[in-house]
Structure 1
Amino acid sequence: MKKIRAAVFASGAGSNFQAIMENDLLCEVALLVCDKPGARVLEKAEKFGVPTFVFDSKEYASKSDYEKELVHRLQQADISWIFLAGYMRIAGPTLLNAYENKIINIHPSLLPEFPGKDAIGQAFKAGVSTTGVTVHYIDDGIDTGPVIAQESIEVFSDDTAETLKERIQQVEHRLYPVVINRLMK
């Protein structure tokens, strides 16, 4: 039986991309989409033999224009699912309509707490005793889509933002592939 084909969207170092690739998935990661030419995740994609599509949004007249190009590339590659892994762009209607309920994201907080950028820093500054990781569907808001899975992480009194980030990433790297496989069944 042919495996479901998925794309990972990433903008940075690619630690979640690497965690996805190092797990035995019930789908095939057939494309990496990156909006940052030169991002370290591109080296990881090359290492794993995953084809890439790299774009610079400034080269397009509008968000709709680059999302039309994304949808075209995804359809050419027969992509059924999209996994956001540190992708720092908000999905617009062109992409959302083409992949309704087929785009998931991992976020470093217990949503709805601390949506958006620097969730770990937000949690640390707020002095919470517990934070965590959320895997959720993407909708037209910022980290507002339906939650698929969450895992709590205690914030220790001697934590720094960096030690908290390291522990959150360990949970992300374990949880995301598990959730992906659950959705592929």
Structure 2
Amino acid sequence: MDVLTVPEHCPDYRGEPLRLGILASGNGSNFTAIVEAISAQTLPAVITGVIYNNPGAGVVQRAQAAGVKSHLVNHRDYPDRESFDQDIVSTLKNWGTEWVVMAGWMRQATEVLLQPFGAQVLNIHPSLLPAFPGIKAVERALAAGVKITGCTVHRVVLAVDSGPIIAQAAVPVLPGDTVASLHARIQQQEHRLYPQAILWAAVGNS
């Protein structure tokens, strides 16, 4: 049985719609989950745009289908992480972004990205942090033989996957699980958890 550690609704939020800028490196399924939550009026937000760092990333097609603009900032074109993040910040600020939402963003943030947005930079990670931070979290959970793993939404700080936890969802590891099967079930919970946790973070900030 999965466990969701935020309420299904956050009725205490009475502010203006959250202005979300999405950072994605891959397929963008969490982006779609956020779009669907906005459409269902369970997340009072607008998406200012999507920044992606890999040419051909699947999130581009998802953004086009949702009518959301996307912009490539290819980290390979920059001499260091700071200059890469500076272009990201400039784009996000030009869009009027207030919250930075990492959705499968496979780049480590620098102070250049974090300082302008403070605690309003969020990430989702496929483990129950503090267990298995960093890359290959699902593979490492299987290798460790744990019985329960899951996903975590947290505020982003300089140290990888170590920021304050906003919400978590637990996922059992089943006999015969592969990386693919376990990751698929974790993603199901990510799609449910992330939109709610974004709102919960905003309630906590208000």
TM range (shorter): over 0.9
Q: Which runs of 5+ in 1 are unaligned?
A: none
- Give the structure, 1 or 2, with the largest relative contact order (CA under 8 Å, sep 6 or more): 2
Worse-matched range after superposition: 161-170 or 57-66: 57-66
3-state secondary structure, aligned to 1:29: strand
- For 1:80, give the aligned amino acid: E
| Aligned with 1:162 (options 162, 168, 180) | 180
Q: What is the Cα deviation at residue 117 of structure 1?
A: 0.9
Identity, % of aligned positions: 39
Normalised to the residue count of structure 2, the TM-score between the two structures is 0.86
* CA offset digits 1:70-89 (Å, max 9, x no partner): 11111111100011110000
1:56 aligns with 2:74: yes
1:134 aligns with 2:148: no
Distance in 2, Cα, partners of 1:159 & 1:2 = 43
Q: Which residue of 2 aligns with 1:80?
A: 98
1:23 aligns with 2:41: no
Distance in 2, Cα, partners of 1:155 & 1:182 = 27
| Aligned with 1:6 (options 10, 20, 26) | 20
Q: How does 1:70-149 map to 2 (within 5 A)?
A: 70-149=88-167
Q: What is the Cα deviation at residue 2 of structure 1?
A: 4.9
Worse-matched range after superposition: 152-161 or 90-99: 152-161
What RMSD over aligned residues (CA atoms) do the two structures have, in Å? Answer: 1.3
1:43 aligns with 2:61: yes
- For 1:8, give the aligned amino acid: I
In structure 2, the CA distance between the partners of 1:164 and 1:97, relative to structure 1 (3 Å rule), is: same
Normalised to the residue count of structure 1, the TM-score between the two structures is 0.95
Instruction: Tell me, yes or no, if the aligned pair for 1:67 and 1:95 is still in contact at 8 Å.
Output: yes
| Aligned with 1:32 (options 50, 62, 65) | 50
- For 2:165, give the aligned amino acid: V
3-state secondary structure, aligned to 1:23: helix
**How many residues align structurally?**
185
- For 1:54, give the aligned amino acid: L
Q: What is the Cα deviation at residue 63 of structure 1?
A: 1.6
